[in-house]
Structure 1
Amino acid sequence: MLEIRSITKRHGAQTALDGISLTVAEGAYLSLLGPSGSGKSTLLRVIAGFDTPDEGQVTLDGRPLTGIPAHERGIGFVSQGFALFPHLSVFDNVAFGLRYHMRKPVRDGSEVRRRVLETLEMVGLAPYAQRQIQQLSGGQKQRVALARTLVVKPRLCLLDEPLGALDANLRQRMTLELRRIHSALGITFFHVTGNEMEALAMGDRVVVLDAGRILQTDTPDVVYNKPNSTAVVRFLNRYNLFAGRNDGRGGIATAAGTIAAPRSGEQRQGADYVDFCIRIDKIQVQLEGEAVGQSQAALPATYITSEFSGAIITHLFRLTDDRVVEVEDHLSHRRPAEYAAGQRYNLVWPRDEGLVFPVSAAVIEAAIRVAA
């Protein structure tokens, strides 16, 4: 089990990690999601032993790692750039860590060969053992980097944006490969990414990080369906977001009209100003003038255009305040609707599917200053 306790790391006046605490169960696959500069890679470097925290402690299987050099921690690290040796074959790249381990090098050539070929078989690269690195595709290089890490049997594998350098097709294939390899080995994987869909697809649990602080830790399903703050909603990039104010009658007044609020109201009690969020695939489109039910919320909008991306069509609508919102249509669900440019419609959704987050007075004041 990996335990991170109150880790703080500063770079001069900037705080990269601000009191991070996290527990990762043995054999788990954890995704760490955050924007650039959130502290993701810094946290990995602290765990790996490449950076020393200013405060706090990291333990692995109950053993404090403070003062233990990176090569003695039993932790594997896969970087985004692969860091392969271009002058060595695939076999020799993977064998390098076995042959030149600082404390326990493997001198027996037959043992090296057995373990390297075993690991290459696991990642699907056994036929490529004698290939040179420059003869490989991006996805194959990624698997060589992973094999080189796994061949030394680490207790924990850190992956620093491992799919970031791959194109969309390779990224999707490697997502499946990583999950398969993790299941086969049972090693704890700690996967850092700035891609929200990758984080949700990969992890048994997802940690959302921003400005060196953890915003939410939960299963992918909960993070996706029940983000706990406006900040997490923004990172997911799957919600339309509206600034509004409680009208005292069960509605939220926004610049585009009044939205029927979720009936539970727990998230907005006592808050004058709120952020309202509705996921883009929860919205249905009705012709203007069609009845809206008591259990529904709606806003009037004008159709602009649609964007096709494989199995999904994203329809763009302009609200009365000129902002543009997205409505997602899955082709597997039904025949895609056709809308007329410039035509008025109602955007409708189940009112209890909306999320409401209170906005503090400080945030309102800051927004007013920026606008001024």
Structure 2
Amino acid sequence: MTLDIANVSRRYDAVVALDDVSLSVADGAFLALLGPSGCGKTTLLRLIAGFEKVSSGTIVLGGRSVAGPDFHVPPEDRRVAMVFQSYALWPHMSVAENVAFPLSVAGADRAGAARRVAQALEAVGLAGLSARRPEALSGGQRQRVALARALVQDASIILCDEPLANLDIHLRATMLEEFRRLHRETGRTFVYVTHDQAEALALATEVAVLDRGRLSQRAAPETVYNEPANIAVAKFVGEGAIVTATAETAATDGRAAVRLAGRKLLLRAPPGAAPGPAQVLIRPEGVSLGGDIDVRVVATTYKGAFHSVTVELADEQRLSLHLPVAPAPGAILRLSVDDGWIIPATAESPAAGAGR
């Protein structure tokens, strides 16, 4: 099922939770809504589900208008299913009864419902646990029950509100693969809310980054990571540093000459990038040892597979890189900046500083 959101805003008295958001989701896509706490992503999900009403704008599901300033289709009539962070399972019901609950509410015949419940439990790997109660399940198993309950419904869009937030790191890795597999096998449209960039980049076919109620960027995961549309996206997605430099040429064939730390670099640039002051995103993988830029080691952090090293340029701006061995604080290294992205200039771009 397709999803079309046009100029949607949601206001709570003087507070604007969503501000003129527009995006379209193709049938069978996996869209991740990504952003920090309070950016509006859960509000947008609840508007799609029908749990809240839009203040302005429209929402269209599969060609059918379901929300606008003067009309509102209730959640049960939208053909959407919801997977909650808290699982939302009935403790007095068995696994099978929890999964079957939406069907019983819809008045489905018992034999047909039992068959669909069995298929859903088989799909999430819980076929042998249908008689258990939620209290006898692990966190990962409870989340699978919630997924099965969503799959059993006649819903073409599955909405997920930070479904892995309550799981430990190992269970999250397992469930990420489960979501990927179910999306691939069912072909349903997924809209997935998360503040975890790793989840969004790993799962989604497209990522929509929200910031302070507005849509900052909507693109493929690779584009959001490699070519953030503004400072907010560059700081939130991925590890790296944002430094001030001077673009000496306009963008040509996707690159521009940039002067940084007294050196001339040829870096990736958006169309229309002009000469002048520029803010450049440099990821750790874009920096290597052995160049002609002198830096001083400020700090190191052991990450297991590598050491994350923060270094300082002569003008006190900082970069980060990954090294197999940690150099001593204060040590002088010689680096090469092999890759970077000139962040598009916007009216709201803040002063440059260290990014995540």
Tell me the TM-score range normalised by the shorter chain.
0.7 to 0.9
Structure 2 residue aligned with 1:86: 91
Query: Where in structure 2 are the equivalents of 1:1-372 lying within 5 Å?
Result: 1-66=2-67, 67-101=72-106, 105-108=107-110, 110-245=111-246, 251-252=258-259, 257-258=261-262, 260-262=264-266, 268-271=273-276, 273-286=277-290, 292=292, 298-302=293-297, 304-309=299-304, 311-320=305-314, 325-329=319-323, 336-337=324-325, 339-350=327-338, 353-357=339-343
Letter in 2 for 1:193: T
Post-superposition CA distance 1:112-158 (Å, at most 9, x none): 22111110010011111111101111111111111111111211100
Unaligned runs of 5+ in 1: 293-297, 330-335, 368-372
Q: 1:52 to 1:241 in 2, by over 3 A?
A: same
CA distance in 2, matches of 1:252, 1:358: 17
Aligned partners of 1:303 and 1:344 also within 8 Å: no
| SS of equivalent to 2:266 | coil
Aligned partners of 1:27 and 1:187 also within 8 Å: yes
Letter in 2 for 1:326: S
Aligned partners of 2:7 and 2:20 also within 8 Å: yes
Aligned partners of 1:239 and 1:279 also within 8 Å: yes
Q: 1:11 to 1:299 in 2, by over 3 A?
A: farther
Alignment TM-score, normalising by the size of structure 2: 0.87
CA distance in 1, matches of 2:326, 2:348: 43
The offset of 1:76, in angstroms, is: 0.5
CA distance in 1, matches of 2:152, 2:302: 44
Letter in 2 for 1:75: V
CA distance in 1, matches of 2:234, 2:349: 17
Aligned partners of 2:33 and 2:207 also within 8 Å: yes
CA distance in 1, matches of 2:93, 2:262: 65
Letter in 1 for 2:332: R
Q: Which moved more, 1:122-131 or 1:339-348?
A: 339-348
Q: 1:214 to 1:6 in 2, by over 3 A?
A: same
The offset of 1:264, in angstroms, is: 6.7
Aligned partners of 2:140 and 2:171 also within 8 Å: yes
Aligned partners of 1:224 and 1:236 also within 8 Å: yes
CA distance in 2, matches of 1:247, 1:25: 40
Aligned partners of 2:307 and 2:325 also within 8 Å: no
Q: 1:201 to 1:92 in 2, by over 3 A?
A: same
Q: 1:29 to 1:362 in 2, by over 3 A?
A: closer
The offset of 1:340, in angstroms, is: 3.9
Unaligned runs of 5+ in 2: 250-255
The offset of 1:90, in angstroms, is: 0.8
The offset of 1:274, in angstroms, is: 2.6
The offset of 1:263, in angstroms, is: 5.5
Aligned partners of 2:278 and 2:343 also within 8 Å: yes
Structure 1 residue aligned with 2:253: none
CA distance in 1, matches of 2:306, 2:226: 19
Alignment TM-score, normalising by the size of structure 1: 0.84
Q: 1:349 to 1:53 in 2, by over 3 A?
A: same
The offset of 1:304, in angstroms, is: 3.5
Aligned partners of 1:33 and 1:199 also within 8 Å: yes
The offset of 1:163, in angstroms, is: 1.0
Q: 1:131 to 1:274 in 2, by over 3 A?
A: same
Aligned partners of 2:295 and 2:311 also within 8 Å: no
Output the aligned Cα RMSD.
2.5
